[in-house]
Structure 1
Amino acid sequence: MSAKPFSSVWTRERKGPRDQGLSRDQIVRAAMELLNEEGLDALSMRKLGARLGAGATSLYWHVANKDELLELVMDEVYDEVVIPEGTSWHDAATAFAYGMHTAVSAHPWCVTLIGVLPGLGPKALTAADRLMAAFSDAGFDGPDVDYAVAAVVSYTLGATIPEVAYLNALARAGTDVTGAQAVMEPIIHEVAADYPHLIDRYRTYAGTSIDPLTARRLAFDFGLVALLDGLAARLPREARLDHPVRD
């Protein structure tokens, strides 16, 4: 059985503008609005066309199918990850991590698309290129550049996607983190009765006045700082002297 040939909106020759009708930018903006309002399951070419007051045929002039549309929309998510050109590796990694965390949190529908749709759009590639260039300029060499970038990307998405998925599930259930904790507290005490250390840790956090979402942000900060400290230690000594990490 032959493999299905790879196709992408970014590898297909783009048609010229029509004399009249919708532009691709209009279609992408409307798709983003629909996704933000109603989620991924609500998106269809027919529904998007109705939203724009146009038939599906007008949309297919610009995109061959829904997957191509999602590629375009996902590149707009990466547009919100701003990494200044020529910045230090530490600042570039920090900008990527917080930018990606914020973008995914603002567009929770994208959690099931990351890692599934290839990031081949110009905005995704710009973010990747600037992050890689910053590590290379700092003194990371050879495959260490790729490993360092992968570590930052993996930490960011690994910490962000489960959090956003959890908040999505709570929203669908009509509750929030505080409400879920109130429901779970007696259950945790019951099922973890034989694990006193876990119960003690749970009581410690339950007894604080820190907002649960703030606690999650602090945990993200801690993990990112620890990762960056570890990456700094991987630099050659002379590079660490030339590129000190700022507190």
Structure 2
Amino acid sequence: MESIWTRQRTASPARETLSRDQIVKATMELLDAEGLAGLSMRKLAARLDSGATSLYWHVQTKDDLIDLVIDQVYGEVDVPDAELAGWRGGALLLAHSLRAVILRHGWLPEVIYIRPSIGPNAVVMGSRGLALFTAAGFTGRDIDYAMNAVLSFVFGNVSPHATWQATVRRSGYSVEELNREILAEVAQLPAMDPMMHESVQRRRVVDMDQLLNESFSYGLDSLLDGLEKRLST
């Protein structure tokens, strides 16, 4: 799988005024507004008020655009030094920062596992993350496993939240209105198990965003508790 990061970059003509940074910015804006399905070289060229030829001096394919914006997203993730935050505090900040970034760019879960994350920002984020788990006392492959456990939890937990946000935007309802409508339908299901009924009632009195935020924090704290326990055994 060829990546823009491993391909030798071709110099653009002296008169070319379009920059890679401009292309990345416009691509991010298009993806944030229309999602992955709305991304095309034609639409991007129109947004930049530029011809397709100018784009091809910088990117050869749509995959090139995806590689660039994935790395741009990783540049938004905050990973503190373990000396300043401690390994657990650093892991918490990394996880919450990554979650916030994914929610800003809801298309990311669709592409993150189909393109190699080997751009400069991804490498820096990965290195800083590994340093956190090394500082915690993990060694060898356990360093990688611990970090992968946290990153996998974040993506697994936040992907439904990002989908929920997109659903709300498309519905024309507010979060509260859509949540009430869905739960009202669930509550009408015949012969609902009593435990399930109680769960639905609990959800009806909590804002959906609050519920998802609290669920994320609960799961993350539980995961880090487990990692700490492994260190002590």
Q: TM > 0.5 between the two?
A: yes
Task: Name the structure 1 match of 2:87.
Answer: 89
1:130 is aligned to 128
Instruction: Spell out the pairing of 1:186-197 with structure 2 (5 A cutoff).
Output: 186-191=184-189, 193-197=191-195
Identify the match of residue 18 of structure 1 among 1, 13, 21: 13
Which residue identity does 1:119 align to in structure 2?
A: S
CA–CA separation in structure 1 for the residues paired with 2:135 and 2:230: 14
Return 5+ residue gaps in structure 2 as ranges: none
* Contact persistence 1:135–1:149 (CA under 8 A): yes
Contact 1:92 1:130 in 2 (8 A): no
Q: Measure the CA separation in 2 of the matches of 1:137 and 1:192.
A: 53
Q: Aligned partners of 1:15 and 1:217: how far apart in 2? A: 45
Q: Give the letter aligned to residue 179 of structure 1.
A: E
More displaced 10-residue stretch of structure 1: 170-179 or 22-31? 170-179
The letter of the residue matching 1:47 is K
Give the superposed CA RMSD.
1.7
How is 1:236-247 mapped onto 2 (pairs within 5 angstroms)? Answer: 236=232
| 1:131 Cα offset (Å) | 0.8
**Equivalent in the alignment of 1:42:** 38
Which residue is 2:180 aligned to? 182
Q: Contact conserved, 1:170 with 1:176, CA < 8 A, in 2?
A: yes
Structure 1 gap ranges (5+): 1-5, 238-247
Does 1:9 find its partner at 2:7? Answer: no
Compare 156-165 and 31-40 and name the one that shifted more.
31-40
Tell me by how many angstroms 1:106 deviates: 0.6
Whether the 8 Å contact between 2:109 and 2:155 is mirrored in structure 1 is no
Of 71, 77, 85, the residue aligned with 2:73 is 77
Pairing 1:102–2:91 present:
no
Partner residue in 2 for 1:118: 116
Superposition map of 1:166-177 within 5 A: 166-177=164-175
* Identical pairs, percent: 40
1:116 match: secondary structure: coil
**1: distance between equivalents of 2:191 and 2:68?**
50
TM-score (norm 2): 0.91
What is the distance in 1 between the residues matched to 2:65 and 2:38?
A: 14
**Count of aligned pairs:** 230
- Once the two structures are overlaid, the 10-residue window that deviates more, 10-19 or 148-157, is 10-19
CA distance in 1: counterparts of 2:196 and 2:130, whole angstroms: 40
Q: Does 1:65 align with 2:51?
A: no
Distance 1:26 1:95 in 2: 29
CA deviations 1:19-78 (Å, max 9, x no partner) are 122111111111112222232222211221122121111111111101111110111111
Partner residue of 1:52 out of 29, 48, 51: 48
Letter in 2 for 1:145: I
Q: Secondary structure at the match of 1:132?
A: helix
Shift of 1:174: 2.1
